[in-house]
Structures are given as C-alpha cells and as structure tokens.
C-alpha cells in the first residue's frame, strides 16, 4: 500500500503560478464542457449569515474524462476589510477522479475564486462587448473590481474607466490604487452618471437592491453582472434583463435559484428565448452581439467547472 502525498499549496505559491498561465482559454474550455453536458455539477451548497453579513458557497463537481474533481469552499464576509481581513476567503480540494485520493489542498484564501470570476467576466466581454468600447464602468470598488484592471488589457485596448462605489472614500482609494497604471480613472457621483458615459458596465457588489435601471442605460451597452450569486442579491432592475436583446447566463440551471436571471424570471420580465448559456456562446452555437445598438447582459453566478479548471491548472504547473 502506498500513501499518497498531498500537496499543500499556499497563496504566495498560487499567485506565482497563476501569473504565468493564460487562463482565458482554460476557463472557456470548462464552460464549453458544462454547456455540452460533459460535466457533473450538483446544486450549490450555501450558508447565509446575518450578523455579521456574509455567505459561504460550496461548489463541487467534475468534467468527464479529466484527471481530477474538486470541492471548493468560498466565503464573502463583507465587514472583513474593517477588521483588516480580506472579504473573500476559501480553500479548494483537488481529488483524483480515478481513486478518490486527495491530491492537493489549495489554501488560496478565496483568491482563485476571485480570479476565475474575473476571467469569466473577461470572456463575456470578449464575445459581447461593442466593437468600439468607449469607456468601461465598474460598479463596486472591492477586490473583484480591482482585479478587473489587471486583466482588461487581454480583451480590450480601452483605458478609460469610470468607477462608482457606495462609499466615496473607497472609490477614491480605488482610483489612488491605480494612480501609476495606464488607466484613466474617474469617479462617478451616481450609477446614472456612470451608465450615461459607459457602453460597457461591470457590476461587482453584494447589493440586495438594484443599482441600475433600464432608463439609465444607453443603447448598445453591454453589462456583466457578477455580484448576485445568492437568491437575495441583485444589482440590476429586472426590466434590464427583460429588455436585453441577448441574456447570457454562465449556468441556466443555477439561474433557477440565484442571480439576475432568477430575479427577472421571478418578476415575469425574462424572455426565455433570449437566454443562452455562456458555454454555447464560446462554442459559437449560441447568440452573440450582431449589431452595435443591441443591449446585452451577462449574469455570472459562478460555476464549479471554473474551479476545476483553475485548480487543475495550478496543480499541473506546480513543478514548473
């Protein structure tokens, strides 16, 4: 009997590995496998906390024919920054699909969840952003918002960013954080000012109330909504989804219980004929933007295939 060696991979090592990997095609492959029925992804396990506010998600699954399966536990506790602790926390466990042996523990502190979320956002922009991106609006000023600016240049040449946050101090520190970067960042006084000046909008907040109304949004805008990953969160008024020309969900099954599509469906605003899964868009079997005046929306609730692909990539590059 041999005893399996379990790799324990800490955050500094994970960051060092990730910076040398082109994650976009890797995560695209995961979404494609999901939409083609080549993965097994059970419903999300979820714990919601009130005092202090937070949520923990357990996402797990496997892609048929691959070497590993993963179990990921990721949390967001939104008062953490006041304690000097990162809001995102978590761990990913990597197991052999052949024997069930634990191969690696990725002590990523939620970092890989944040990265794979941003990569999914980049993928939506790749397929759905207008031809001419005038200015990119980012609603939210936390970790996910900041990470976007590390990856946007892989998808677009646009360097004009308008950011909005509930807390003006956080918004100003977001701007300061990128003071030496190639980005030209302005702070919006309201989400309507942001929507009036941007034709790509990314929402990355834990909001429970809509932050964008249909009347605020310009024709031809693309919106990627990231924050609404539970049934009680929402960033978009349901009419935004209802009036979009194309609505892309990373997981249509998950949209039955969470996200902007869930809210729009519950509200009776969703036209199911306009809904397509991200993996179908990637494989060119789904709808993509065909005109500059179309309103397109991507609703990302986070799918286990993203965790499988990114954790496997880290493990496979461990010895490099």
- Which domain CATH number covers 16? 3.30.1780.10
178 inside domain: yes
Are residues 156 and 208 both part of a single domain? yes
77 inside domain: yes
CA pair distance 9, 107, nearest whole angstrom: 6
Are residues 26 and 128 both part of a single domain? no
Are residues 41 and 130 both part of a single domain? no
Residue 156, preceding bond cis, omega within 30 degrees?
no
28 inside domain: yes
pLDDT at 1: 57
Are residues 129 and 106 both part of a single domain? no
Are residues 211 and 231 both part of a single domain? yes
Are residues 93 and 198 both part of a single domain? no
CA pair distance 243, 44, nearest whole angstrom: 28
Instruction: For 247, list phi and psi in degrees, rounded to 5.
Output: -120, 120
Instruction: For 86, list phi and psi in degrees, rounded to 5.
Output: -65, 140
**CATH code, 223:** 3.40.50.720
pLDDT at 287: 67
Instruction: For 130, list phi and psi in degrees, rounded to 5.
Output: -60, 155
Are residues 105 and 133 both part of a single domain? no
Are residues 67 and 146 both part of a single domain? no
260 inside domain: yes
CA pair distance 282, 99, nearest whole angstrom: 32
In the chain (320 residues long), the average pLDDT of successive 10-residue segments reads 82 96 97 97 94 94 98 94 91 97 97 96 96 97 94 96 94 93 96 98 93 95 90 90 95 92 92 94 80 95 97 91
pLDDT at 239: 95
2 inside domain: no
Are residues 98 and 132 both part of a single domain? no
Are residues 23 and 87 both part of a single domain? yes
Please, what's the largest Cα pairwise distance for the chain?
Answer: 66
Are residues 128 and 104 both part of a single domain? no
Number of compact structural domains in the chain = 2
End-to-end distance of the chain based on CA atoms, in angstroms? 29
pLDDT at 227: 84
174 inside domain: yes
117 inside domain: no
**pTM for the whole thing?**
0.94
Are residues 239 and 261 both part of a single domain? yes
What range defines the domain where residue 163 resides? Answer: 124-302
1 inside domain: no
């Amino acid at each position: 009997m041999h005893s399996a060696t379990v790799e324990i991979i800490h955050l500094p090592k994970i960051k060092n590995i990730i910076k040398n990997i082109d994650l976009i095609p890797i995560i695209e492959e995961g979404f494609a496998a999901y939409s083609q029925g080549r993965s097994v992804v059970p419903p999300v396990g979820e714990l919601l906390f009130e005092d202090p506010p937070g949520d923990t998600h357990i996402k797990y699954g496997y892609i048929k024919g691959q070497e590993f399966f993963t179990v990921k536990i990721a949390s967001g506790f939104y008062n953490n920054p006041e304690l000097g602790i990162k809001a995102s926390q978590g761990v990913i466990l990597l197991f052999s699909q052949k024997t069930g042996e634990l191969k690696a523990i990725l002590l990523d502190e939620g970092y890989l969840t944040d990265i794979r979320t941003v990569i999914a956002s980049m993928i939506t922009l790749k397929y759905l952003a207008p031809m001419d991106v005038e200015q990119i609006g980012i609603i939210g000023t936390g970790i996910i918002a900041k990470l976007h600016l590390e990856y946007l240049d892989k998808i677009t040449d646009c360097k004009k960013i308008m950011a909005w946050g509930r807390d003006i101090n956080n918004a100003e520190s977001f701007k300061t954080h990128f003071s030496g970067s190639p980005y030209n960042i302005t702070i919006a006084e309201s989400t309507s000012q942001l929507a009036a000046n941007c034709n790509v909008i990314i929402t990355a907040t834990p909001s429970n109330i809509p932050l964008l109304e249909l009347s605020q949004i310009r024709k031809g805008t693309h919106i990627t909504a990231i924050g609404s990953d539970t049934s009680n969160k929402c960033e978009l008024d349901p009419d935004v989804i209802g009036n979009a020309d194309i609505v892309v969900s990373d997981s249509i099954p998950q949209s039955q219980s969470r996200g902007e599509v869930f809210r729009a469906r519950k509200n009776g605003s969703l036209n199911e004929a306009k809904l397509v899964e991200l993996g179908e868009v990637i494989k060119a079997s789904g709808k993509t933007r065909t005109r500059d005046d179309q309103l397109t929306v991507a609703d990302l609730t986070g799918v286990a295939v993203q965790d499988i692909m990114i954790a496997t990539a880290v493990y496979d590059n461990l010895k490099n």
